[in-house]
């Protein structure tokens, strides 16, 4: 199977993005669906070549009556590829209600928390997820509709750090159609998630309604959106690197409070002002992904035009206070996140 075209493509994706050096222990997220089935199958085909130890991990979100069947399919698939299997369940709907978040947001958080827990238990440094090129196109389009900035339009990164671990997406350059063809070639069954047809979810409306319309204007629009993500990510990474010293120069302090020098902040180019605020938020909260572009921009304009004593608050538990001599960014208890606006990651 290692000679299969999909295996060759995944091998090249792993190489070009330096996802694996070889010899790693990898936790593979498996849902029982087509993408994760193909992911585990291909990584198993490359296992000897890359000297990988694979662990399959499945989280039951408790959202659908057929969820136990999905778990059984995931367990059977792991056994067929000779992988240790890990499973847990969580009431995602209850978690979403408690946090006043969307089901999708709460499910994502639960899923990564579970995968990180499995990785810790088996001493793995890498988590692999089955995001595809179609997922990338959908994500970019969703963020475009929400008014995201460059970081949001950079889409799903092929590799990203996650609490001391590394999350990799070996299928991120693979269209969903190629995955379907791969499963057919190797006679691999996969479960279909009925919630993927629910048009109440924005991603499903983008996938099932909007993208087919856009294909009437550009039949290769999914590839174009994925390419936009790649280019934007490269540009944003370059600007981050080139501006790091200038951003650092206006920030003072760490931990629960960071101060920004008002005069030096005002002299920065607009793009670097946004980066300075994002970095200050990352320092106090540990994750800049909680604040969407619109809130960064509101805070930036407020900081520039505000008087001493003015306060701005953003979702994710961040308060920005304008003192006479400094702009203070602090962490405060999060009273619940807004639904909708860029919850898939920092989109500035």
At which of 155, 188, 223 does a domain end? 223
User: In this predicted structure, what is the pLDDT of residue 318?
Assistant: 82
3-state secondary structure of 172: coil
The domain tally of the chain equals: 2
Q: Does some domain include residue 230?
A: no
3-state secondary structure of 33: coil
User: In this predicted structure, what is the pLDDT of residue 102?
Assistant: 79
> CATH code at 259?
3.30.465.60
User: In this predicted structure, what is the pLDDT of residue 314?
Assistant: 72
Residue 35: CB partners within 8 Å, gap ≥ 6? 130, 131, 132, 135, 171, 176, 179
> Are 215 and 258 found together in one domain?
no
> Are 193 and 77 found together in one domain?
yes
> Are 88 and 199 found together in one domain?
yes
Q: Does some domain include residue 322?
A: yes
> Are 203 and 140 found together in one domain?
yes
Nearest to 345 by CA among 236, 239, 255: 236
> Are 179 and 283 found together in one domain?
no
Both tokens of 183, joined, read 């499963």
User: In this predicted structure, what is the pLDDT of residue 288?
Assistant: 55
Q: Does some domain include residue 147?
A: yes
Q: Does some domain include residue 50?
A: yes
Both tokens of 17, joined, read 């993005």
Q: Does some domain include residue 243?
A: no
> CATH code at 149?
3.40.50.620
Q: Does some domain include residue 338?
A: yes
DSSP type of residue 194: G
User: In this predicted structure, what is the pLDDT of residue 287?
Assistant: 62
> Are 213 and 98 found together in one domain?
yes
Inter-residue long-range contacts of 214-220, CB under 8 Å, 24+ positions, other chains counted? 214/141
> Are 219 and 278 found together in one domain?
no
At which of 223, 241, 261 does a domain end? 223
Bridge partners (DSSP) of residue 229 are: none
> Are 200 and 257 found together in one domain?
no
3-state secondary structure of 86: strand
DSSP conformation letters of 287-331 = -GGGS-HHHHHHHHHHHHHPPTT-EEEETTTEEEEE-SS-EEEEE
At which of 223, 240, 262 does a domain end? 223
Domain that holds residue 285: 250-348
Q: CA 340 to CA 216: how far, in whole Å?
A: 27
Nearest to 250 by CA among 327, 172, 162, 145: 327
> Are 106 and 184 found together in one domain?
yes
> Are 346 and 256 found together in one domain?
yes
User: In this predicted structure, what is the pLDDT of residue 341?
Assistant: 35
Q: Any idea what the Cα angle at residue 114 is, between residues 108 and 118, rounded to 5°?
A: 145
> Are 274 and 215 found together in one domain?
no
Q: Does some domain include residue 168?
A: yes
- Ordered per-residue pLDDT tens for the chain, 348 residues: 547 899 999 999 999 999 999 999 999 999 999 999 999 999 999 999 999 999 999 999 888 888 889 999 999 999 999 999 999 998 888 888 887 777 888 889 999 999 999 999 999 999 999 999 999 999 999 999 988 888 889 999 999 999 899 999 999 999 999 999 999 999 998 888 777 788 888 899 999 999 999 999 999 999 999 999 999 999 999 999 999 999 999 999 877 789 998 889 999 999 999 999 888 888 887 665 556 788 888 888 877 776 777 788 776 678 888 888 888 998 876 654 443 333 334 344
Q: CA 218 to CA 204: how far, in whole Å?
A: 20
> Are 179 and 267 found together in one domain?
no
Q: CA 227 to CA 278: how far, in whole Å?
A: 25
Cα-based distances in Å from 134 to 63, 111, 125, 201, 229 = 24, 20, 27, 16, 12
Cβ count within 10 A of residue 227 = 15
User: In this predicted structure, what is the pLDDT of residue 253?
Assistant: 81
Cα-based distances in Å from 343 to 13, 148, 174, 288 = 27, 11, 24, 11
User: In this predicted structure, what is the pLDDT of residue 168?
Assistant: 98
Nearest to 37 by CA among 69, 75, 67: 75
Q: Does some domain include residue 139?
A: yes
């Amino acid at each position: 199977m290692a000679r299969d075209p999909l295996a060759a493509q995944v091998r090249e994706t792993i190489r070009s993005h330096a996802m694996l050096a070889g010899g790693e222990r990898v936790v593979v997220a498996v849902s029982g669906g087509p993408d994760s089935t193909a992911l585990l199958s291909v990584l198993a085909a490359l296992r000897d070549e890359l000297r990988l130890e694979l662990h399959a991990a499945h989280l039951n979100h408790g959202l659908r009556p057929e969820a136990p069947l999905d778990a059984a399919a995931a367990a059977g698939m792991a056994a067929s590829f000779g992988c240790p299997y890990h499973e847990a369940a969580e009431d995602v709907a209850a978690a979403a209600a408690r946090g006043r978040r969307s089901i999708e947001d709460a499910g994502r958080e639960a899923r990564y928390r579970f995968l990180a827990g499995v990785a810790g238990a088996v001493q793995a440094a890498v988590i692999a997820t089955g995001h595809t090129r179609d997922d990338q196109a959908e994500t970019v389009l969703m963020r475009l509709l929400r008014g995201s900035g460059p970081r949001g339009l950079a889409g799903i990164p092929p590799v990203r750090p996650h609490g001391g671990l590394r999350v990799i997406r070996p299928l991120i350059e693979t269209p969903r159609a190629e995955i379907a063809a791969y499963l057919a070639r190797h006679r691999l069954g996969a479960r279909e998630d009925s919630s993927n047809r629910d048009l109440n979810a924005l991603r499903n409306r983008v996938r099932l309604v909007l993208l087919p319309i856009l294909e009437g204007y550009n039949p290769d629009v999914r590839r174009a959106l994925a390419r936009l993500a790649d280019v934007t990510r490269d540009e944003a990474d370059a600007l981050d690197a080139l501006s790091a010293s200038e951003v650092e120069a206006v920030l003072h302090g760490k931990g629960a409070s960071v101060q920004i020098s008002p005069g030096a902040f005002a002299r920065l180019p607009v793009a670097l002002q946004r980066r300075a605020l994002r970095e200050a938020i990352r320092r106090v909260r540990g994750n800049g992904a909680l604040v969407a572009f619109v809130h960064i921009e509101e805070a930036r304009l407020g900081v520039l035009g505000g008087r001493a004593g003015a306060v701005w608050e953003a979702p994710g538990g961040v308060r920005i206070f304008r003192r006479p001599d400094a702009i203070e960014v602090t962490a405060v208890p999060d009273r619940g996140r807004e639904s909708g606006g860029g919850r898939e990651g920092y989109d500035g």
